[in-house]
A and B are shown apart, each in its own frame.
Chain A
Amino acid sequence: MIRVTYRTQNGEDYIAEAMDGMTIMEAALSAGVPEILGLCGGICSCATCHVHVDPEWAAKLTPPDDEEGAMLEAIDHKAPTSRLGCQVRLDDSHDGLLVHVFDVS
C-alpha cells in the first residue's frame, strides 16, 4: 500500500491508500480530495489535477515530459515543484508522498 497525503491550503490532510500503478490524480479521487477534479480522466489535457509536490519529494519523482511541461507552463499557481497528478504513476517507492493542493473553483 502506498500512502499519499494531499494537504489543502487550510492545512487539512487527505490520505489516500493508493494501489501500485495508480496516478496521483486517481489516488486523489479514490480518497475524495475535493481540490483534485481530474476532469479529463488523465490524458494530460485539463490540468485540473495540478499539485505542488513537497520539495523533499520533488526530486524523487520521474521529471515531467515535454507534454506535461507545456501544460504546466500555462497554469495558474505554478510553482517549481508543480506536477500534473495524472502524469505521475505511483509505486512502492512513493509511500509517504506529500503533495499540496488548492481550491481551484
Chain B
Amino acid sequence: MSVKEIYDPFNYATHANPYPIYRELRDNHPVYHNQTNNFWALSRYQDVVFAARNFKLFSSAKGTSLEYVGELAPILIDSDPVMHTRLRHLISGEFTPAHVARLERRVRDYAQRLLAPLRERGEFDVIADFSAKLPMAIICGLLGFPEQDEDMLRQWTDDCVHRDEGVFEMPEQGLIATQNMYGYFEEQMQARRRKRQDDIVQKFVDSEDKGQLSHEESLGYLYILSIAGNETTTKLIGNMAWQLDAHPEAIKRLADNPALIGQSIEETMRIDGPTHMMARTTTADIPLHGKVIPAGAKVALLFMSANRDERKYPTPDEFVLDRNPKDHLGFGGGIHACMGAALARLEARVAWEEIFKLTDAFEVQQDRTQRMHSPQVRGFTHLPIRFNPRRTAPAH
C-alpha cells in the first residue's frame, strides 16, 4: 500500500495544476520528503535561492533529474566546478545579451516565415505551427545542424523529456532517442573533421583537438544544448498565450504598445515559466525548518513554487503585466542559471512582436489544448488559438 504523496511530479494530475500543491508545500511542508520515491523538495523562494546558490552543499554532479535517466554522460548542468567551470566558459560568452542580439534578424525572419501563411486562416496552433519550430531552427543554426533534420531532432528531444505516468525513470522511447541523438552528434562531428563549418559543433571538434574537451563531454554538451535550446522556449511562448488568454486587457495593452512585451515575458517566466524543477544531491546533512535533509539525498528545487511564494511576491497567483520581476527563478539561479536565458528572452520577445503584428485579439481554444508530461518542464504540445487578423499595424 503506497502512501498518498502530496507532491508527485510523475502524476499527470500534478502537471494539470501544480500550484495548489506548491502552496500546500510552502505553507505546511517547506522541507518535504516524498517517501515513495525517496526525494526531498524545497518550495519557498528563500530556500530555493539558498540551494541554487550553494552548489557545494547542493551538488549537480549526480544529475539534475530525480529519476534514473540512464548512465550519465558528462553534461554541463550535471556537473560541479571545476568541470562545470571549464565546460560553461567554453561557450558562455556567446550567450550574453549583446552576442545573442546579433541573432534578432534571423529570429524575426524565421518567425515571419512561419506566421505569414497563417494570417488568413484566423486560427493556428501556437505550439505546433509556430513555437515548436522557431527555437529549434535557431539552436540548430547555432549548432550547425541542417534544416531538414529539425523535425527529427525535435521528436527526439520531445521523447527525452517525456515521462510515462507514475513511472520513476526515463521510458524506453527516451533512452532510444538519447542513443539516436548521440549517434547523430557523432556523425556531425565527423563531418566537421572532413569539412570545416562555422558553428558550435566545429568549436567542440577544435576544443577536443586542443585537449580542452573530451569526446564524451562534446556529445553530452550537444545533447543538453539541443534539449534546452528547444523544449523550454517553445513552452514559454505557449505559456504566455495561456496567461494572456485569461487577461484580455493585457492583450489589448500589448497590441497597442509592443514595448511592454519584454516585461510580459518576465511575468510569464515568474508565474508560468516552463522549468518547474531541477534536482540536486546533498553533500552534507542540511538542517532546515526543524528537519534534516540527510547527506546524499536527492532534492527537488521547485522554481515555480518559489516564484509564487507569498513571502516574496504580493498576490503571487495573479498575472500582473506591470510587475516586471527581475529576481524570479524562472531561469534558475547561481552558477547553473540558464545559459540561454538571453536567447530565450530574445526569441520569445520577437515571437510575440510578430504575433501581435498578426492579431490584436485572440482566444485560446481551451477544449483542444494538450499538455506535455515531464516532471521538470511544464507546457503545451498543442495550443490552438482563434484570432482576428490585424488591420492596423502596431505602433512602434
Size of chain B's interface in residues, with CB distance under 8 A?
29
Size of chain A's interface in residues, with CB distance under 8 A?
23
Asked whether, in the complex, the Cβ of B341 is within 8 Å of the Cβ of A67, the reply is no
Which residue of the partner chain A has the closest CB to B100?
A: A43
* Interface check B97, CB cutoff 8 A: yes
* Interface check A58, CB cutoff 8 A: no
Known contacts A21-B86, A29-B53, A30-B56, A43 near B97 by CB under 8 Å: yes
Binds B, one of A7-15, A31-39, A74-82, A92-100: A31-39
Within 8 A of A (CB), among B317-355: 326-327, 331-339, 341-342
* Interface check A66, CB cutoff 8 A: yes
Q: Which residues of A contact B92 (CB under 8 A)?
A: 42-43
Asked whether, in the complex, the Cβ of B342 is within 8 Å of the Cβ of A45, the reply is yes
Asked whether, in the complex, the Cβ of A40 is within 8 Å of the Cβ of B337, the reply is yes
Known contacts A29-B53, A32-B54, A40-B341, A67 near B96 by CB under 8 Å: yes
Q: Which residues of A contact B336 (CB under 8 A)?
A: 41
Contact mask B81-115 → A, CB, 8 Å, 1/0? 11001101100100111110000000000000000
Q: A45–B95 Cα gap in the complex (Å)?
A: 10
* Interface check A3, CB cutoff 8 A: no
Q: A93–B113 Cα gap in the complex (Å)?
A: 51
* Interface check B55, CB cutoff 8 A: yes
Asked whether, in the complex, the Cβ of A43 is within 8 Å of the Cβ of B335, the reply is no
Question: What's the least CB distance linking B228 to chain A, in Å?
Answer: 13
Asked whether, in the complex, the Cβ of A45 is within 8 Å of the Cβ of B341, the reply is yes
Question: What's the least CB distance linking B330 to chain A, in Å?
Answer: 11
Q: Which residues of B contact A26 (CB under 8 A)?
A: 81, 85, 335
Asked whether, in the complex, the Cβ of A41 is within 8 Å of the Cβ of B96, the reply is no
Q: Which residues of B contact A22 (CB under 8 A)?
A: 81-82, 85
Q: A17–B338 Cα gap in the complex (Å)?
A: 25
Q: A22–B88 Cα gap in the complex (Å)?
A: 10
Question: What's the least CB distance linking B239 to chain A, in Å?
Answer: 20
Which residue of the partner chain A has the closest CB to B54?
A: A32
User: Which of B82, B327, B341 is the one whose CB lies under 8 Å from A41?
Assistant: B341
Q: Which residues of B contact A32 (CB under 8 A)?
A: 53-54
Asked whether, in the complex, the Cβ of A43 is within 8 Å of the Cβ of B56, the reply is no
Q: Which of A40, A44, A66 has its CB near the most chain B CB atoms (within 10 A)?
A: A40
Q: Which of B81, B96, B332, B339 has its CB near the most chain A CB atoms (within 10 A)?
A: B96
Contact mask B54-98 → A, CB, 8 Å, 1/0? 111000000000000000000000000110011011001001111
Asked whether, in the complex, the Cβ of B339 is within 8 Å of the Cβ of A43, the reply is yes
Asked whether, in the complex, the Cβ of A30 is within 8 Å of the Cβ of B55, the reply is yes
Q: Which residues of A contact B54 (CB under 8 A)?
A: 29, 32
* Chain B residues close to A by CB (< 8 Å): 53-56, 81-82, 85-86, 88-89, 92, 95-99, 326-327, 331-339, 341-342
9 contacts between A and B (CB under 8 A): A21-B89, A38-B333, A39-B327, A39-B333, A40-B331, A40-B337, A42-B337, A43-B97, A43-B342
